[in-house]
Amino acid sequence: MMNWEKLLLPEGLKPSDTDLQRSQFERDFDRIIFSAPFRNLQDKTQVFPLPENDFVHTRLTHSLEVSSVGRSLGKSTGKFLLDKYPALASKKLQPFDIGGIVATAALAHDIGNPPFGHAGEEAISDFFKFHTTGKLWQQKCSENEWEDLTNFEGNAQGFRMLVDKGNGMNISPATLAAFTKYPRPAWSKATGEKRRSQKKFGFYTSNITDYEHLAKGMGIPKLAENCWMRHPLAFLVEAADDICYSIIDLEDGCTLGLVSLEESISLMAGIIGDRYDPEKLQKYSSPKQKLAIMRAMTISRLIQETSAVFEEKEVDILSGEFDQALTEIIPSAENLEAITSLSVKKIYRSQPVLEKEAAGYQVLEGLLATFSEALFHFHFCKEKFSGHNKSILRLLPEELELQKSRDAYALMRGLLDFISGMTDKHALSLYRRVKGITIPGT
């Protein structure tokens, strides 16, 4: 059974520490906000291609909204926990501290996503699985390392970025653990019943020691070798994301004309329930106003339902008996599923989205092929190292030091840091330049 005091304040961490102006958890939030990886989210696709008009969400606006919902969920849960466990209040914890942990973890939840969204993850994985140049690296990697490369995961990349001292974020253990929704590497998984925490993986082979140290300090038990239970607040981070992408993607789809206003309002009204007043809504002439009001009321209702379910399941979450998505068991679960089904049909498979995914696949495959071939020739096949390869390597950031290391896995992790950290526009621009489609200065 996990213990809240150890989960929130491991190793004697104090919520206010020595800085009376900001708590540790507020500092975590500020460090994410001011980090370069977070800023890059402003030019990364959420669902739709980055548009000429400004109403469609990017990864940045999505992350800010998920953080806002996460803060509300965390504060509500914090009040419940402090009432139930007086020892937490004696440590000078406040509801806004728990809200701060969830808000920060939610703010960072997409920080490891590559350009072009989930299509970018597939493109990177498929490059190592199927591309001739990508498969060259298999002979140089261990079995576990190869499993990482052939299964690129934004959550694991995000964990890597958060613990990388070079990024300067240095967030607290509670926030890092709440961020880690899938506490296992790609090649390890708990057996038995289906667990939500096992759906994906949350860190790479090179970061197992980081998470092992984190889990030990917080008293998070193992489910299997190299596989741990979730930090309880990770369920709230996941729920905040589920709530936002379900409702906001629907709103964006309606704004773009892929879903009718009437259908969007009907779906959200099913969640709002008795509070929905169609006559009052008709007083607003603008479809944008109607959508905004319905979205706000829907999200508010989902926050209330999710908080109530977390409180109900809190003991089972601490023991590890509960391992489901909270949004799958709230009263509005069926309504959310209806929204997801419609989104898959009318939004995620719409022509603009599919075109963006196809283009992103080509861009990332092309960049990986160009750079990884140059690196392979330089380190392992000198007789094929060409002048073109030399020029390509000069485009890599010096701080990656990819021309010094001879460890194949480390080389590819560094290259993937570089490419997955790009914005959509940067990736497209660099692809055009290395392929000779665009010549600088012309």
Q: Can you give the three-state secondary structure of 242-268, one letter per residue?
A: HHHHHHHHHHHHHHCCCCCHHHHHHHH
Burial 269-294 (b: 16+ CB within 10 A, else e): bbbbeeebeeeeeeeeeeeeebbebb
CB 47 within 8 A of CB 117: yes
Average pLDDT over residues 354-380: 92
- Band of pLDDT at residue 350, cut at 50, 70 and 90: confident
Which pLDDT value is given to residue 18? Answer: 47
Amino acid code (one letter) for 302 = L
Q: Which residues contact 83 (CB under 8 A, 6 or more apart)?
A: none
CA distances for 304 relative to 171, 249, 251, 308, angstroms: 28, 21, 21, 6
pLDDT bucket at 76, cuts 50 / 70 / 90: very high
**Beta pairing partners, 227:** 224
Average pLDDT, the chain: 90
CA–CA separation, 337 and 329 (whole Å)? 11
Where is average pLDDT lowest: 274-283, 328-337, 397-406?
397-406
Q: Residue 231: helix, strand or coil by DSSP?
A: coil
3-state secondary structure of 220: coil
DSSP run (H or E) holding 224: strand 222-224
Using CB atoms within 10 Å of the CB of residue 356, give its burial: 0 to 12 exposed, 13 to 18 middle, 19+ buried.
buried
The whole-angstrom separation of Cα 218 and Cα 32 is 22
* Sequence ranges of the domains in the chain: 4-12+23-114+143-231
Predicted local confidence at residue 168, as pLDDT? 73
* Choice between 440 and 67, residue whose per-residue pLDDT is larger: 67
In a 3-state reduction of DSSP, which class is residue 227? strand
Cβ neighbours of residue 197 closer than 8 Å, sequence gap 6 or more: 181, 182, 183, 184, 223, 229, 230, 234, 323
Of 37, 36, 40, 45, nearest in space to 360 by CA: 45
The upper half-sphere exposure of residue 76, i.e. CA atoms within 13 Å in the direction of its Cβ, equals 19
The predicted structure's pLDDT at residue 13? 55
* Tens digits of residue pLDDT in 394-436: 999 887 777 777 899 999 999 999 999 999 889 999 999 998 8
Residues 364 and 271: their CA atoms lie apart, in Å, by: 39
For residue 367, is pLDDT > 70?
yes
CATH number for the domain formed by residue range(s) 4-12+23-114+143-231: 1.10.3210.10
Question: How many other C-beta atoms lie within 10 A of the C-beta of residue 346?
Answer: 16
Among residues 415, 414, 436, 418, which one has the least CA distance to residue 426? 418
Contact 67, 107 (CB under 8 A): yes
The DSSP output letter for 140 is G
Which DSSP category does 345 fall into? Answer: I
Across the range 249-259, mean pLDDT stands at 87
Q: What is the pLDDT of residue 24?
A: 84
Q: What is the mean pLDDT of residues 304-319?
A: 97
pLDDT tens, position by position, 7-55: 998 765 555 554 556 788 888 999 999 998 999 888 877 655 545 545 5
Phi, psi of 274 (to 5 degrees): -65, -20
Dihedrals φ, ψ of 134, to 5°? -60, -40
Residue 440: the pLDDT is: 62
